[in-house]
Chains A and B, each alone.
Chain A
């Protein structure tokens, strides 16, 4: 449960605000992921980082800007969001990408509400 932590757990922001979500993993992994979970929709992969390098951007709008300063930390910078961006944002980590048998471990998520 504490292997992947996320802060804040809840965030309310206006459309003109700038905020950041933080994720930290204590599992010694090298890959980190951002997912979006909206009501009534399957989980959507947003970004993938492997050894601090972005390996996937799943056509995410530029108002979401990820940052991975090291293998243990992942940020998601938010600016000029829209109400439809309200969702649960989940961070995950795994040993590294490229291994189809690898397991991803998830954090508790940040519940984002955009007013």
Chain B
């Protein structure tokens, strides 16, 4: 079965520093990977996705993610963090098992705190 792991429950960075939120995946077949962000008392907002092609995917709000097939990773990155980036970040993979192509399997989430 498809799965994703977000090894860090919490990440703290200083404003202006680069940030990385980690995600590793396990799939059979081609991986379709997504990142979402959730601000307090809000729903999930789509940031970016990897389907095929370039390993570096650019998304909303200056975020990007690097797909690494050999390490089965899809880490979310931003060169310079803002306090307003503080939120809960979810990695997700499309479940391509039989009859499951509409399923998104989510990680448990990583809480990012950017300190001023």
A residues near B (Cβ < 8 Å) are 1, 4, 6, 31, 33, 40-43, 45, 48, 50, 55-56, 90, 92, 94, 97-101, 103-109, 111
Q: How far is the CA of A108 from the CA of B109 in the complex (A)?
A: 17
Q: Which one, B44, B45, B102, contacts A55 given CB within 8 A?
A: B102
The residues in B between 47 and 82 inclusive whose CB is less than 8 angstroms from any CB of A are 49, 51
Q: Decide if A45 touches B51 in the complex (CB within 8 Å).
A: no
Q: How far is the CA of A48 from the CA of B102 in the complex (A)?
A: 8
Is B11 interfacial (CB-CB < 8 Å)? no
Q: How far is the CA of A40 from the CA of B9 in the complex (A)?
A: 10
What is the minimal beta-carbon distance from A18 to any residue of chain B, in angstroms?
25
Which of A1, A100, A106 has the most chain B CB atoms inside 10 A of its CB?
A100
Q: Decide if B45 touches A101 in the complex (CB within 8 Å).
A: no
Known: A42-B108, A43-B106, A101-B32. A4 touches B43 (CB 8 A): yes
Known: A97-B101, A106-B45. 20 other contacts (CB 8 A): A31-B102, A40-B108, A42-B105, A42-B107, A42-B108, A50-B102, A56-B102, A56-B103, A92-B44, A100-B94, A100-B96, A101-B51, A104-B46, A104-B104, A106-B36, A106-B43, A106-B46, A108-B41, A108-B42, A111-B41
Q: How far is the CA of A59 from the CA of B96 in the complex (A)?
A: 19
